[in-house]
Amino acid sequence: MNSLRSSDFNMLSSYADDSHVSFRKRSSKIMEASAWATSIEIWMKKIAHHTMFIS
């Protein structure tokens, strides 16, 4: 394990941090998109509900 230089280790750890951050950003975007889709779905159901009562 000592054969691994500290510079190599720092590079690896920084790469791991970067990938972790990008993964979190991507998952938060997916969460936002799904929440947006859910709100649209609810909105459409409300509109459909109102139009049924009107007609």
- The three-state (H, E, C) secondary structure of 5-23, written as one string: CHHHHHHHHHHHHHHHHHH
Distance CA 15, CA 9 (A): 10
Distance CA 47, CA 28 (A): 29
Q: Is the pLDDT of residue 25 over 80?
A: yes
Q: In the chain, what percentage of residues exceed pLDDT 70?
A: 87
Mean pLDDT of the chain: 80
Place of tokens 């990938």: 19
Place of tokens 């790469």: 15
Domain boundaries, the chain: 1-55
> pTM to 2 decimals?
0.43
DSSP 36: H
